[in-house]
Amino acid sequence: MLDCSASIVVYNNPPEMVRNAIESFLPCALNGVLHIVDNSPTNALESSLIDYPVVYHYYGSNAGYGRGHNWAIKECLESRYHVIINPDITIAPKTIESLSGFMDANQEVGMVCPKVLNKDGSVQYLNKRYPTIYDLFIRRFLPKKMHCLIEKRLAWYETRDIGYETIHDVEYMSGCFMFCRTKALMEVDGFDERYFMYFEDADLSRKIQQAGYRTIYYPDATVTHLWERASHKSIKMTGVFIVNMLRYFNKWSWKYF
């Protein structure tokens, strides 16, 4: 049995970004395998990865984030843990070892996330409570200069009232880096492939909780995330965000505030 498998789903990401993510994972993963699932229009990335001990899979179309990871998860049924990694992630030394040790000691935990940092070392507030229409609206559409009016609510939604220095349960875990018990992923059938992009992480968090596992934040391990936030820059991606938001609320019930 493999100790730790992992998957990175890419779509037209710069080769140097993907190589950086690979190089940060491989030294950490004892007895592991890393799958690169390429949703790009061409398989041009493959030639830049030939020197790396990874499994490259060219999907042939943009199958979406969740479907891409599901392909890799089904190839890794013999691993104890499976890591969902964004291509813009850099994993700190001993992070995989630390998260694996935590999961070994806490069999009731199905998924754990580390502290996620910006490039300058500051913390990204990615732990969230279950989303509501109100929280999503003010974060996406309210002008930044008006955020001071609802700062207390934003802090609550991003669990800043709990803080980012202690171990605690997280309702909605970010999909940029998820350290999962493979058995738990199998029990919930991985990601719901109806979400092309966005909200698949919120959905997976809830499914794993519904299956009886805890989803935990573990700040003693860290990763760095470049975080492009494409839905804030593109009208098309904003549309994708809204469509998948509707799917999420239709599935888990509508919560307005």
Three-state SS for 36-70 is: EEECCCCCHHHHHHCCCCCEEEECCCCCCHHHHHH
Helix, strand, or coil (residue 8): strand
User: Given this model, what pLDDT does residue 70 score?
Assistant: 97
Burial of 107 (0-12, 13-18, 19+ CB in 10 A): exposed
Cα end-to-end span (Å), the chain: 45
Give which of 171, 172, 177, 203 is closest to 190, Cα–Cα.
203
CA distance 79 to 75: 9
The string of pLDDT tens digits covering residues 92-120 is 999 999 999 999 999 999 999 999 999 99
Q: H helices then E strands: how many in the chain?
A: 8, 9
- Does residue 228 surpass a pLDDT of 70? no
Q: pLDDT category, 1, cuts 50, 70, 90?
A: low
Give which of 227, 221, 129 is closest to 176, Cα–Cα.
227
In a domain? residue 75: yes
CB 233 within 8 A of CB 191: no
In a domain? residue 183: yes
- For the domain that residue 122 is a member of, what is the CATH number? 3.90.550.10
Give which of 107, 92, 71, 129 is closest to 219, Cα–Cα.
92
Give which of 177, 179, 175 is closest to 109, Cα–Cα.
179
User: Given this model, what pLDDT does residue 232 score?
Assistant: 52
Structurally, the chain folds into a number of domains equal to 1
The string of pLDDT tens digits covering residues 179-210 is 999 999 999 999 999 999 899 999 999 999 99
In a domain? residue 157: no
Q: pLDDT category, 233, cuts 50, 70, 90?
A: low
Burial of 134 (0-12, 13-18, 19+ CB in 10 A): middle
CB 30 within 8 A of CB 3: yes
CA distance 207 to 59: 26
User: Given this model, what pLDDT does residue 116 score?
Assistant: 98
If phi > 0 it is left, if psi is from -120 to 50 it is alpha, else beta; for residue 2 that is: beta
User: Given this model, what pLDDT does residue 139 score?
Assistant: 87
Angle, CA 19 vertex, CA 175 and CA 173 arms, to 5°: 10
- Does residue 230 surpass a pLDDT of 60? no
In a domain? residue 62: yes
In a domain? residue 88: yes
In a domain? residue 240: no
User: Given this model, what pLDDT does residue 229 score?
Assistant: 57
Residue 212 structural domain: 2-127+165-227
HEC string of 125-182?
A: CCCECCCCHHHHHHHHHCCHHHHHHHHHHHHHHCCCCCCCCCCEECCECCCCEEEEEH
Lowest mean pLDDT among 30-34, 134-138, 242-246: 30-34
In a domain? residue 160: no
